[in-house]
Structure 1
Amino acid sequence: MANTGSAPAAPRGTDGSHHPARTGWTAFAAVLMIFGGAMAIFQGIAAIAKDDVFVATRNYVFQFNLTGWGWIHLILGIVIVLAGCALFTGAFWARAVGVVLAGLGALANFAWLPHYPLWSIVLIAIDIFIIWALCAGPDRAKA
């Protein structure tokens, strides 16, 4: 029987249950988390190695040690990548953890602004898209 004009049904598994991991927004958030986490890992490695890419702005409100920030970004990036992978399972806890970690990532990149402003703004935007995609999730199709 053909579907006439109604919205497509939410993806269902073989047992009839909904699988949020199979919705577009959750997959979008998972991919962005893996990408954003990988970029944070690279950012952290570069900061730990005292790369010349980063500059310290004088008289900025947030003045932190570059190596310390490198470790923060490295650890946060690894956790964000793992949470992004967990989103593909469709677990609700992974969505909640994803929102929290994306928020922490946005805050970390906000404090990172004096070291690498353009990249920080890009990663803040990615974190905001992640939060939006996880909060818009599978229930959006029902509206």
Structure 2
Amino acid sequence: MSSTLHPHSEGSRAAAGGLTLFAAVMMLIAGFVDIFRGIMAIVHDNVFVSTPDYVFKFSLAGWGWIHLFLGIAALMVGVGLFRVSLWARILGVAVASLLLIANFLSIPYYPLWSIVAIALCALVIWGLCVVQHEDVQGS
């Protein structure tokens, strides 16, 4: 008997569900943190760095609103990911990609957290893309 899992075995489906659950939890965390980051920027908290010559210059409040809306979207999609549906996985990749881009563009304003958030979003994208649709739904 081979020790390799059949692509549609119970172990394969459990691993697929586990990765989707991991991505859902990470998406919720990223959403909450981005909401807090957005609120901090909107009220002009002192944790942000002043970057007068930055190419993608928005007001700090403008970045705050972007992060606030993306955080809310991440929360909604994160909750949808608990249903392990294809539409939630597709939206999850899209929202995580937008969060990744927004955090990349805001590196000069809050460098350390932006890099951590980029890594977090990359893990979410990986967790949602590595799972085959058939593995999640069963055979």
TM-score bracket for the superposition, by shorter chain length: 0.7 to 0.9
- Identity value in percent: 46
Instruction: State yes or no: 1:57 paired with 2:70.
Output: no
Specify the alignment match of 2:102 in structure 1. Answer: 108
CA–CA distance in 2 between the matches of 1:103 and 1:6? 33
Q: Which runs of 5+ in 1 are unaligned?
A: 13-17
- Report matched runs for 1:64-79 at 5 Å: 64-79=58-73
Tell me the matched-pair count.
133
2:5 aligned to which of 1, 7, 22: 7
CA contact (8 A) 1:26 1:138 kept: no
Quote the RMSD (CA, aligned, Å): 2.4
Specify the alignment match of 2:34 in structure 1. Answer: 40
Q: TM-score, normalised by structure 2?
A: 0.85
Q: Which runs of 5+ in 2 are unaligned?
A: none
- SS of the aligned residue for 1:108 comes to helix
Specify the alignment match of 2:84 in structure 1. Answer: 90
Specify the alignment match of 1:15 in structure 2. Answer: none
Q: TM-score, normalised by structure 1?
A: 0.83
CA contact (8 A) 2:5 2:11 kept: no
- SS of the aligned residue for 2:77 comes to helix
| Equivalent residue letter for 1:88 | F
Between Structure 1 and Structure 2, the one with more helix by share is 2
CA–CA distance in 2 between the matches of 1:82 and 1:19? 24
